[in-house]
Amino acid sequence: MTRTQWIKAALIASSLALTAAAPASTDTRAAASAPKTHRITFDKYSFLIDGKRTYIWSGEFHPYRLPSPGLWPDIFQKMKAAGFNTASIYFSWGYHSPRDGQYDFSGVRDLDKLLDDARDAGIYVIARPGPYINAEVDSGGFPLWLTEKPVRNRSPDPAYLKLADQWMTQIDRILARHQLTDGRGTVIAYQVENEYYNGSPAGRAYMQHLEDKARADGITVPLVGNHNATFVTGKGAVDVSGWDYYPQGFDCSHPSQWKPAPDMAAHHFAGEPLFTAEFQGGAFDPWGGPGYAKCAQLINDRFANVFYKENIAAGATAQNFYMLYGGTSWGWQAIPQNYTSYDYGAAITEGRQFDPKYYEDKRIGYFLHAVTPITKTNPMQPGRLDDPRLIDRARINPDTGTQFHLVRHGDTTASSVEQAHLTLSLKEGRFSIPQQAGTTLTIDGRESKLLLADYTFDATRMIYSTSELMTIATIGSRDVAVLYGRHGTDGETLLGFAARPKVTVLAGHVTSHWEQHGLRLDYRHDGLAQVLIEGGSKPLLLLIGDNRATQSIWRQDTSRGPVLMIGSHLLRSAHYDDGTLALTGDGDSDTHAWLFAGDASRVTWNGRPLSATRTASGALALTLPAPRPVVLPTLDHWTRRTGAPEIARNFDDAHWKIANRTTTSSVTKPGTLPVLFADDYGFHTGNTWYRGHFTVNTGHVAPTGLKLKVMSGGKAGAFTVWLNGHFLGSVTGSELGAFSFPSRMIVPGDNVVSVLTVDMGHEEDYDSTGENRTARGIVSAEPVGATANAITWRLQGAIVDESPLRGPYNFGGLYGERREWPIKPGNPADWHPATLPADTSTPGVTWYRTSVPLDLPKGQDTSLGLQIKDPPGRHYRAMIFVNGWQMGNYVADLGPQHRFPIPDGVIDPHGNNNITIAVWKTDRTPGGLGRVSLVDFGSYTSPIDVSTIPAGK
């Protein structure tokens, strides 16, 4: 059944035209720039915002992994639409600081825009500015130039603190003006450092320094940590301590094997809410790894279902998931272990599509938002289950008496289907539920059910339900509740009524029984049933869905109360503008939608009026515009240009840096002198070239070979060696190579050995041992058959100041990068026609480029990407530039990434696009760059339609 079919079955449109007149009033969303003061407090139960208990349901997002500011609202709105109220955001020092003392917060680095976008979407922010963030980002977020400073990172070393303070001053100034407490934004918490576990006096002094600095810089929100049990009390303690938990680890190759859930109740600190600062939302994947589809399978919707609810049952009232949207480690931001994609198997994919986990997060998120008693609970006596494999973890709100029962497998890794009865002691008495003969409470494999009992909402009293509640709201003159369960399972709900109400089953099969305490409904979760119950102080409309049906149920809150919509791909926002209910959202090919709203005289969708008809259930039936089909052009008309003139003996390297250093900032010991580490000469990204000169004449003993040790970082490293323009060989998967110099290649006079190396990223400095200063480039160069200094070296790598808009990670040091070919390709005559797949067998560097005009439907959000396909056994590496942005590093013989999402803005869906690919072929086997094509990850009618990126400063 398609979405429309089952909804149609459920909602029969009547021909009642919409005439309801709405009172004229303006929506009262906070004026954007007027700072208001708010109070953020906490106690052992929860955070409170202006005294109101608030469940923090948060997802992690990294702006430096989405270089398109026009898409930031997309992520925040998608979070909000899934019931998230908070984003946890790392700020990467290195992303904003190309050089010591230099900072950039413009263009794709415009954090004022980012924080305004979060506020406008109704999302709170937990700000995590480091200075160290880890995050699988180069140097753990430390700037590239810190590789040249031999300071003791993450310690009270004054030389380090001076540099850290430089960053803190810059970032704190921005964060302070976006605080909820006294700024114009929604920053509610500030994390100090990251997973810092050094509780020694020095470690405490360091933490205290950062905290004093934050306060001195005007940070007034609570200081929080993800330092587990460190810094809970004493010097350096944060206000609220949080936990980092990744129960499944990071190997996605066995995605159906689970490790058990931790019991977070054991980690509740006195006087503080239980806060999981990072809880597993996916996993990163290494070069050559199983791929992100496997990570999405490991940390799937069932994982969210069992593990996130387990945290709720343990008493957590602040949960952040790392990642909710992973994005792209574009340019050279990845650490050596990871490839470009940071999809993470997260709820929102790198291409901004919904993983099934998104809908599970949404079901739980809506529940937490609607059922406010969850923010203040204590453990209580569990109910009894007649199935020994199941347990109940129960909590109760001491003020309202609302009970929460998490029914789950005793073993959280179990996957058996269990059918049971649960005995509960409730205000109305003891019940063994479900009561209906022949029906059961089903735990469907990897599933937990968070059941509500003794729950009162407005005019509705739910004594118990074996369905889970997704949301409940007063809409217009009645209450509307959404209950759900897995498709085909039994459900039973007992509602309290003083007198027998009138029950109208509008859709689906639901039986009702009037019993001592009220109205009992029995049903199977199948599609979307609808029951109207009249007779209480307000009518109650029950929507009872299977999991699938809940996917297209969206809730938004307006100044005139909640709005519920069934249908559309996504409801982004709803607000009243006089009598008009203005909705924004995304539409797919299923154009039917139903809206439950208060009174609205007009409804608009993305600014366009919609005609609406009233249905028997009181909903408005709407028809949304359908997206137009997307037809992607094939990529052809390629041209090529050779790109490694450095190989030639007579290449002019006179202006290159001479390797003459005898000391290094690195933690790696040089194998030979002079020091040849790229970072020591200011070359921090991607490829670095070395040219070693030696003289052959009578009187000189010339080397007959060369032994090299080269560190690229990780198993995706490589280096290639030429002598006087002749290929000597490449090394992949090792740091060591020995090359002999055949005498036929030697010439009298100056001889040149050219070495192409690559820095696959700098190590994180998790242990504060200076690992970001691990050497990159040549570590030792030993001439064979000649003296140690027979070869003199020059080197050239990335030029830091190229392309400030794109920043310090965009370009490495290939010839074409130093001349910015991806932006300025130069004379067309230098580029020769080429066809792909390329059949070259010459090792070296070749650049390919093409232009592709795109004319994709306007008013539509189309998520695009580039794909490279190769037959197995190709030995080359490629860097993909789109309009000058380096969006992908591809290693043909390692993988696993073949598809590279390109955010709109970087690619222009309505304009011309330049695609430039630098190919480094490492051997002589036939076959170069493979087939390159555009891919479409999804296209919806949408208010998000981004063409370009704003200019930087």
> Which one-letter amino acid corresponds to residue 246?
Y
Candidates 45-53, 92-100, 132-140, 695-703; binding stretch for ligand GAL (CB under 6 A): 132-140
| Shortest CB 556 distance to ligand GAL, Å | 31
Q: Which of 7, 71, 79, 135 contacts ligand GAL by CB under 6 A? A: 135
Q: Give Cα separations from 878 to 119, 799, 857, 866, 932 (angstroms).
A: 39, 20, 31, 12, 11
Active site residue 764: no
Helix (H) or strand (E) holding 322: strand 316-325
CB neighbour list of residue 153: distance below 8 Å, 6 or more residues apart: 132, 142, 146, 160, 765, 768, 770, 772
Closer to ligand GAL by CB, 96 or 409: give it.
96
Q: Of 42 and 284, which has the nearer Cβ to ligand GAL? A: 284
Distance CA 191, CA 466 (A): 39
Find the angle CA(684)-CA(688)-CA(689) to the nearest 5 degrees.
155
Q: Which range binds ligand GAL by CB under 6 A, 119-127, 134-142, 668-676, 897-905? A: 134-142
790 token code pair: 């027979």
Token pair, residue 247, equals 């129960």
Q: What are phi and psi of 313, to 5 degrees?
A: -65, -25
SS3 of residue 347 by DSSP: coil
One residue of 58, 97, 134, 248 binding ligand GAL per CB under 6 A: 134
Task: Annotate each residue in 164-203 with x if it binds ligand GAL (CB under 6 A) or - if it does not, as one string.
Answer: ------------------------------xx--------
Residue 875 CB, shortest distance to ligand GAL, in Å, is 30
**Cβ closer to ligand GAL: 294 or 409?**
294
Closest approach, Cβ 46 to ligand GAL, in A, equals 23
The residue among 323 and 433 lying less far from ligand GAL, judged by its C-beta, is 323
Shortest separation between residue 141's beta carbon and ligand GAL, angstroms: 9
70 or 143: CB nearest ligand GAL: 143
Burial class (CB in 10 A: 0-12, 13-18, 19+), 537: exposed
* 323: preceding bond cis by omega (within 30 degrees): yes
Closest separation between CB of residue 32 and ligand GAL, Å? 32
Give the start-end residues of each E strand in 440-549.
441-444, 449-457, 460-465, 468-475, 478-485, 490-496, 502-507, 510-515, 518-524, 528-534, 540-546
Distance from C-alpha of 625 to C-alpha of 602, rounded to nearest angstrom: 17
Residue type, 304: A
Using an 8 Å Cβ cutoff, are 544 and 467 in contact? yes
Residue with smaller CB distance to ligand GAL, 242 or 627: 242
**Taking contact as CB under 6 A, which single stretch among the options 128-136, 163-171, 540-548, 646-654 is the one that binds ligand GAL?**
128-136
Does the footprint of ligand GAL cover residue 338 (CB under 6 A)? no
Catalytic residue of the set 60, 193, 211, 278: 278
**Distance of alpha carbon 654 from alpha carbon 677, whole angstroms:** 19
> End-to-end distance of the chain based on CA atoms, in angstroms?
52
CB distance 457 to 479 below 8 Å:
yes
> CA 619 to CA 12: how far, in whole Å?
10
The CB-side HSE value for 244 (13 A sphere, CA atoms) comes to 18
Residue nearest to ligand GAL (CB): 134
Work out whether 136 is an interface residue with ligand GAL (CB under 6 A).
Answer: yes
Tokens in use for 952? 């930087």
Segment contacting ligand GAL by CB under 6 A, of 130-138, 163-171, 436-444, 539-547 = 130-138
H helices present in 195-325, as ranges: 201-216, 292-298, 301-303, 309-314
Residue with tokens 């009232």: 317
User: Cα separation of 157 and 526, whole Å?
Assistant: 63
Query: Which residue lies nearer to ligand GAL by CB, 181 or 319?
Result: 319
Kindly state the DSSP code that residue 904 receives in the 8-state scheme: B
- How far apart CA 296 and CA 74 sit, in angstroms, is 21
CB 764 → ligand GAL: shortest distance, Å? 7
Q: How far is the CB of 217 from ligand GAL (least distance, A)?
A: 23
Q: Is 951 helix (H, G, I), strand (E, B) or coil?
A: coil
CB of 809 to ligand GAL, least distance (A): 18
- Using CB under 6 A as the binding rule, whether residue 546 contacts ligand GAL is answered as no
Structure tokens at 114: 């980012």
> How many residues at the interface with ligand GAL, by CB under 6 A?
10
CB of residue 660 to ligand GAL, shortest distance in Å: 38
Nearer to ligand GAL, 344 or 523 (CB): 344
Pick the binder of ligand GAL from 110, 244, 490, 820 (CB under 6 A).
Answer: 244
> In the beta sheet, which residues pair with residue 312?
none
**Residue 323 Cβ, how far from ligand GAL at the closest point, in Å?**
8
* Least distance CB 285 / ligand GAL (angstroms): 11
413 - beta bridge partners? none
Active site annotation includes 350: no
For the bound state, the minimum distance from the C-beta of residue 568 to ligand GAL, rounded and expressed in Å, comes to 33
Chain positions 264 to 303 lying near ligand GAL, rule: CB under 6 A, are 278, 284
In the complex, least distance from residue 251 CB atom to ligand GAL, rounded to whole angstroms: 13
CA separation, residue 830 to residues 827, 849, 938 (Å): 6, 12, 37
Taking the least distance from each CB to ligand GAL, the nearer of 194 and 230 is 194
Between 244 and 490, name the residue whose CB sits nearer to ligand GAL. 244
Do 154 and 142 meet the contact criterion of CB atoms below 8 Å apart? no
The Cα–Cα gap between 741 and 726 comes to: 10
Q: Which helix (DSSP H) or strand (DSSP E) does residue 915 occupy? A: strand 912-921
In 3D, which of 100, 99, 95 has the Cα closest to residue 114? Answer: 95
List the beta strands (DSSP E) in 788-911: 792-796, 832-834, 844-853, 860-869, 876-882, 885-891, 899-902
Contact 566, 553 (CB under 8 A): yes
Question: Which residues 6+ apart lie within 8 Å of 448 measured at CB?
Answer: 305, 306, 309, 310, 406, 407, 408, 409
Contacting range for ligand GAL; rule: CB under 6 A; set: 131-139, 469-477, 750-758, 788-796: 131-139
- Tell me which DSSP letter residue 196 carries: -
Q: Which of 148, 195, 428, 782 is catalytic?
A: 195
Indicate which residues carry an active-site annotation.
195, 278
Q: Which residues bind ligand GAL (CB under 6 A)?
A: 133-136, 194-195, 244, 278, 284, 322
